[in-house]
């Protein structure tokens, strides 16, 4: 009996030690180089705003800020429209994500598009974002600003990066830009949509209108209980004119091996730590930061396409390693969102 109890005690101690050691592991720090790394082209960010489109000062729905690279200040740069998730109306909620893009050489426009956190006029939100972006581009195209980069035809070169509802609006605006009544809205050359979705409560668009040349990267989290992959699947299926060579879908997997746990929930893209296990960690460096900057580099510089549109390449899916050298679970590539296994419930 005594021997049996000692055996159980020894096993318990071994398991406890193993569990403590596993939890003691920490995720990787920011890489030294690469699109998610700290090898920055600029040392500063010039912040200006708030501004209001259509001269409607005080109207939160038309409010926006501009973030321009500085130290050194470039003569021109592509412009990224950054669109937040539902009710995430504080620009600080994502400041390190879009800050990464600015320090890598891109101007970012943050548009509020909602009057406030309780506004329910969802049919206006995409138009509000469009109005703010058009106004911002005109404001940037002035002396003493980082001018918006233009193509040979004199058109602005832009991209849209967004999370949740903002990711959904990336596709809505790309389709709207082809409409005759939105001639001032430039068609984005690239869309990066992290966990896109609107719960089918916000008006969409005809996604078949999106130009086939548009580069698209969709990312969903396997434990995103807010949007799951429902609307990502819907948009992907209705956007068949964009060839597979120009679009990738990736699934983030949860890795609970260490601390903080790397959970593929709905809130990991924010950099404030709200409703998440950390403010900034490997999920930022290796997912939102890496993939968005890689897509911008691929689109505007012709570099890092093996990351942005890597079809599951090691460079695209790598998540670094825990402090003991064990790799974090990599991102998973699927040729269609509908093929991805998730832990959330799809809408019927």
The end-to-end CA distance of the chain, in Å, is 57
Q: Is residue 240 part of a domain?
A: yes
Q: Is residue 41 part of a domain?
A: yes
Q: Is residue 278 part of a domain?
A: no
Residue 327 has a CB neighbour count (10 Å cut-off) of 12
**pLDDT at position 13, please?**
36
R_g of the chain, CA atoms, integer Å: 21
Peptide bond into 33 cis (omega under 30): no
Q: Is residue 192 part of a domain?
A: yes
Q: Which residue's structure tokens are 């679009």?
A: 247
Smallest Cα–Cα separation from 109: which of 74, 150, 154, 159? 159
DSSP secondary structure code for residue 63 in this structure:
E
Kindly give the parts of the chain with pLDDT less than 70: 1-23, 345-348
Pairing of strands 63-70, 107-111: antiparallel
pLDDT digits (tens, 9 = 90+) for 67-108: 999 999 999 999 999 999 999 999 999 999 999 999 999 999
Q: Is residue 109 part of a domain?
A: yes
Q: Is residue 106 part of a domain?
A: yes
**In CATH, what number is assigned to the domain containing residue 75?**
3.40.50.1820
Q: Is residue 233 part of a domain?
A: yes
Q: Is residue 209 part of a domain?
A: yes
Smallest Cα–Cα separation from 253: which of 265, 242, 244, 241? 265
> pTM here?
0.92
Range of the domain at 188: 31-252+334-339
Per the structure, the count of domains in the chain is 1
User: In Å, how far are 188, 216, 338 from 245, measured between CA atoms?
Assistant: 17, 10, 18
């Amino acid at each position: 009996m005594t021997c049996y109890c000692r055996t159980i005690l020894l096993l318990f101690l071994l398991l406890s030690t193993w569990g403590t050691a596993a939890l003691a592991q920490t995720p990787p720090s920011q890489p030294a180089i690469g699109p998610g790394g700290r090898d920055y082209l600029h040392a500063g960010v010039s912040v200006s705003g708030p501004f209001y489109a259509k001269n409607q000062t005080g109207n939160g729905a038309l409010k926006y800020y501009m973030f321009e690279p500085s130290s050194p200040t470039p003569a021109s740069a592509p412009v990224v429209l950054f669109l937040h998730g539902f009710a995430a109306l504080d620009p600080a909620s994502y400041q390190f994500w879009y800050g990464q893009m600015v320090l890598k050489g891109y101007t970012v426009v943050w548009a509020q598009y909602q009057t406030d956190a309780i506004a329910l006029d969802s049919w206006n939100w995409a138009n509000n974002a469009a109005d703010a972006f058009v106004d911002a581009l005109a404001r940037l195209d002035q002396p003493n600003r980082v001018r918006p980069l233009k193509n040979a035809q004199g058109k602005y070169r832009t991209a849209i990066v967004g999370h949740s509802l903002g990711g959904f609006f990336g596709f809505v605006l790309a389709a709207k830009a082809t409409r005759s009544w939105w001639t001032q809205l430039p068609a984005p050359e690239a869309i990066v949509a992290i966990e896109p979705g609107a719960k089918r409560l916000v008006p969409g668009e005809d996604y078949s209108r999106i130009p086939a040349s548009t580069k698209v990267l969709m990312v969903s989290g396997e434990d995103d209980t807010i949007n799951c992959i429902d609307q990502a699947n819907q948009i992907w299926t209705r956007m068949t004119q964009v060839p597979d060579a120009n679009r990738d879908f990736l699934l983030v997997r949860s890795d609970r091996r260490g601390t903080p746990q790397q959970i593929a929930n709905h809130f990991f893209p924010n950099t404030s730590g709200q409703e998440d296990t950390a403010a900034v960690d490997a999920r930022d460096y290796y997912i939102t930061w890496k993939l968005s900057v890689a897509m911008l580099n691929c689109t505007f510089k012709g570099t890092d396409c093996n990351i942005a549109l890597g079809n599951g390449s090691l460079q695209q899916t790598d998540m670094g390693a825990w402090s003991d050298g064990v790799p974090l679970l990599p991102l998973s590539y699927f040729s269609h969102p509908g093929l991805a296994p998730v832990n959330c419930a799809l809408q019927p």
